[in-house]
Amino acid sequence: MNRSLTVIAAALLWAALGAGCNQGPASDTTADSNTSQDSHAKAGTAKGSKEGGFASWFESSKDITIPQGTSFEVTVDETLASNRNSAGDSFQATLAQPVVVDGQTIIPAGAPVTGHVVDAKDAGRLHVPARLSVALNSVEVEGKTYDIETNTIGETGRNHNKRNAGFIGGGAAGGALIGGLAGGGKGALIGTLLGAGAGTAGAAATGKKDTSLPAETRLRFQLTRTVTVSVKR
C-alpha cells in the first residue's frame, strides 16, 4: 500500500515537472516572436527613411537661363495713376502667361511679380500732359525671388493744345461780341481781352486730364537682361 502511494506521488511529481518544462519554451518562443516583429518594424522604418532620402536626392534642381527678349505678360493687381503715384512706388502684379523656354515651363502662370513706377507726372494746366511709366523688378519661382530687368512701358496723356485753343478762341470771340454790343469798337477790344481771360480760365479748369492703369490691366514686358532660375527636375 505504501509502495503504491509512493509510485503515485512520483508520477504526479513528474507530471508537474513536465508541464513546467513545456511552458518555459512557449514563453521563450513568444518573446522571440515579439523581438522578431520589432526588428522587422525597425528595419522597415530604416528602409523607408533611406528611400525618402534617396527620393530627395533625385528631386534635384536645375538652373535654367531665361534669355533676353523673353516676354513677361502680367496682370496689374492694383490701380496706378499719374496723379497719385510717384517714381519709385512699387506695385504687385501676377504672371498672366507661363514663361516657356525650349518647350519647358520655367515660370507658371500665377507667379507673383513685383514692379515699380519709373515715372509719374500729373497733368499740368493748359499744355502739360500727364505721364505714367512702369517696369518689372522681380518674380517669385517656387518660393524664391529672382531680380529681373525689363523694358519700361509708359503712357502719356493727350496734349490739350488744340482743345485749349478752342476754349480760349471761343472765349475771345464771345467777349468781342458782347463788348461790341455794349460800346462799339473800343468796347469790342476790351471785350476781346476780357473774353480771352475767361476762356483761359475755363481751359485751365477743364483741360487737366490724368492717366492711369486700372487694376486687372494686362501688360506685356520683355526681359532686357537674361535671368537664371532654379527649377525642380
Residues 3-17 have pLDDT tens digits of: 555 656 666 666 655
Domain boundaries, the chain: 61-160+208-232, 166-206
pLDDT value at position 209? 79
For Cα atoms 196, 201, 202, give the angle at the middle one, nearest 5 degrees: 95
- Per-residue pLDDT at 108 exceeds 50: yes
Percent of the chain with pLDDT over 70: 51
**Average pLDDT of 92-121?**
96
pLDDT value at position 32? 55
Q: Residue 58: pLDDT band by 50, 70, 90 thresholds? A: low
pLDDT digits (tens, 9 = 90+) for 9-42: 666 666 655 555 555 444 455 555 555 555 555 5
C-alpha cell, 40: 522587422
- Cα–Cα distance, 192 to 190 (Å, whole number): 5
> 61-160+208-232, superfamily in CATH?
Type IV secretion system, VirB10/TraB/TrbI (2.40.128.260)
pLDDT value at position 61? 84
Q: Residue 126: pLDDT band by 50, 70, 90 thresholds? A: low
- Can you give 46-92 as a three-state secondary structure string? HHHHHHHHHHHHHCCEEEEEECCCCEEEEEECCCEECCCCCCCCEEE
- Are 97 and 73 contacting, i.e. CB atoms less than 8 angstroms apart? yes
More confident residue, 61 or 161: 61
Closest by CA to 218, choosing from 145, 68, 109, is 109
